[in-house]
Amino acid sequence: MDTNTRTVEGELLGLPTEMIKNSVEEPVHERLDAFGFATGRGYEAELVAAVNESGSVEVFGIEMSGLAESQSACITLEQVTQALRHGQPYLRLALADLRRAIREPVDTGLYCFRAIEEYQNRARFRQRWQFVLQH
């Protein structure tokens, strides 16, 4: 794994660490995406930690605040795994979008919308197909 260190100064110093992460990662992703498109490659960069002025390290988490606690009451890993095993290809795509929603806060709304829309479209398709088969 290639690691690179950059120093962020000025206007970002007073922000909460989550906002610093988002403020730094977004322009980096934009440039990598443009370069990847121009060269036919796929690149990924992730900001994993920050060091504040006093020298203490802040390691960024992989969860969305409050979501991990509330999610555990909704559905179990076994239920999701079982649905994936029973041929739910749209669930795989929806889960990938939800992962992106958690990891890329600036686009959370877009990814959640895509996940929900995919399932709604699938349900509509099934209803129409059942109607056609019955008539």
Question: Tell me: the pLDDT tens digits for 37-47?
Answer: 999 999 988 88
Could you tell me if 83 and 35 lie in one domain?
no
Q: Which residues contact 20 (CB under 8 A, 6 or more apart)?
A: 8, 12, 50
Could you tell me if 84 and 126 lie in one domain?
yes
Closest of 4, 14, 11 to residue 49, by C-alpha? 4
**Average pLDDT of the chain, as a whole number:** 78
Could you tell me if 80 and 33 lie in one domain?
no
Could you tell me if 82 and 129 lie in one domain?
yes
pLDDT at 52: 72
Number of domains forming the structure of the chain: 2
Phi, psi of 86, rounded to the nearest 5 degrees: -95, 35
Last residue of a domain, one of 38, 59, 80: 59
Tokens representing 4 are 């690179």
Global confidence as pTM: 0.61
Tokens representing 17 are 């660490």
Residue range(s) defining the domain that contains residue 43: 10-59
In a domain, 49, yes or no: yes
Would you tell me how many other CB atoms lie within 10 Å of the CB of residue 114?
18
Could you tell me if 39 and 76 lie in one domain?
no
What average pLDDT does range 17-34 have in this prediction?
Answer: 83
Q: Is 95 exposed, middle or buried (0-12, 13-18, 19+ CB in 10 A)?
A: middle
Cβ atoms of 101 and 107 closer than 8 Å: yes
Q: How many angstroms separate the CA atoms of 61 and 69, rounded?
A: 14
